[in-house]
Amino acid sequence: MTKSQKILRIVFIILLIIVVSELFYFFYYQPSVSQKIPLPTPIPSVSIKSSDIVGIPSITKIESGQQIENIITGAETQGQKFTSYISILNGLDQTQNCIAKTGKCFKIDNLKENLWKLDIDNIFPIKISGPFIVRLNFNGTKGASGVSLSIRLGEGDKTWWKNLRQIFFAIGENGKHLYIDVNNNDPDPFIFYDNTFDKKIEGIYILFNETGTSFLVTDLSYKEITFIDLNKATDNKFSEGLFPDKQFYIGYMTAPLSDLVVYDFSIL
C-alpha cells in the first residue's frame, strides 16, 4: 500500500467516525436527553386556580347599598371572606409591583401618547356560581384607567372586538372620575357611566345579579353611585346577561399617558 493510499484510508476512517457520531447524536442522544430533561416552563406567579368559584346566595332583586352591606356582614358571620385577585394582575405585568399599607398592590404606567396599554389573563378563569360582589380600590391620576372583566375574548388585533364581551371599570383625575363601559361584539362600547366627583372616590363595591343582567355600584360606605339594568339601557342586547358562560377573565387597561394603581381587587 502506497503512502498516498494510507493517507486516503486514514481520512476515510476519520470521516466515517464523524458521520457515525452525528447519526448517534441526532437519532439517539438528543431525543433521549429531550425526554429525560425537558426544558423548564415558566411558572405563573399567581396562586389563583381555575377551580376557584365565587358567588353568594341567590338574591331575587338588587335593592340598595344597604343590601350590599347586609350580604357582606352575613357572609363574614359565616366565615366567608373576600378573595383577592391582585396576584393575577401582577402576573400580567411584574415590572412595577408595589407595596402599600394594605399589602400588595398592582401598578402600571402608560407612557404612550396614542395607545392604550392593556392585557388580559386567559389562563385562570374566575368561575361564578351566582350573584357576587366585587370590591375595588384603585386610583389613576390622569385619564380613565382600570380593571376589566372579560367574559369572552376578541379574535385578534385587526378584529379585536369580534366575540368580545367585557365590562370595564375605570378611574381617573386623581380618583375623582369614575367610568363604566361594556363591549359586546362591537368596537364601540356601551358607556353606562361617566361622571366626575368633587371628592376622591376611595373605592367601590359592585353587586352583580346571577347572570349579570344588572348591577349596583356603591362607594365603600355603601352610598349608591349608580344602578344599571343592561337590557333596559340597550334595548335588550344582553338577553343572556354579562356572564352566560359562568366565568370571566381579569385584565387591565390604561389610557394614553395615564397610570393605574389597584390597592384592592377582591371578590365575594
Question: What is the mean predicted confidence (pLDDT) over 107-126?
Answer: 85
* Percent of the chain surpassing pLDDT 70: 71
pLDDT tops 90 at residue 146: yes
Q: How many CB atoms lie within 10 A of CB 55?
A: 17
Question: Is residue 136's pLDDT more than 90?
Answer: yes
pLDDT at residue 26, rounded to an integer: 43
Q: Of 45-59, 100-114, 214-228, 252-266, which range is least confident?
A: 45-59
Say whether pLDDT at 145 is over 80. yes
Residue 150: pLDDT band with limits 50, 70, 90: confident
Averaged pLDDT of the chain: 77
pLDDT band of 79, cuts 50, 70, 90: confident
**Position with higher pLDDT, 103 vs 131:** 131
Task: Specify the pLDDT at position 45.
Answer: 37
pLDDT band at 205 (very low <50, low <70, confident <90, very high): very high
pLDDT of residue 200: 92
| Sign of the dihedral defined by the CA atoms of residues 144, 262, 53, 160, in that order | positive
Please give the Cα distance from 144 to 259 (Å, whole number): 9
DSSP string of 49-80?
-TT-EE--S--S----HHHHHHHHHHHHHTT-
Q: Which one of 7-21, 83-97, 118-132 scores highest in mean pLDDT?
A: 118-132
Stretch 261-265: mean pLDDT: 91
* Segments in the chain forming alpha helices (H): 3-24, 30-36, 65-77, 86-92, 230-234
- The pLDDT value recorded for residue 159 is 59
Tens digits of per-residue pLDDT, 213-236?
889 999 999 999 999 998 888 888
Band the pLDDT of 182: cuts 50, 70, 90: confident
Residue 267 near residue 83, CB atoms below 8 Å:
yes
Mean of pLDDT values over 147-173:
77
Look up residue 83 and give its DSSP letter: E
Q: Reply yes or no on whether the pLDDT at 212 is more than 60.
A: yes
Tell me what percent of the residues of the chain surpass a pLDDT of 90.
22
Judged against a pLDDT cut of 70, whether residue 83 lies above it is answered with yes
Q: What pLDDT is attached to residue 171?
A: 93
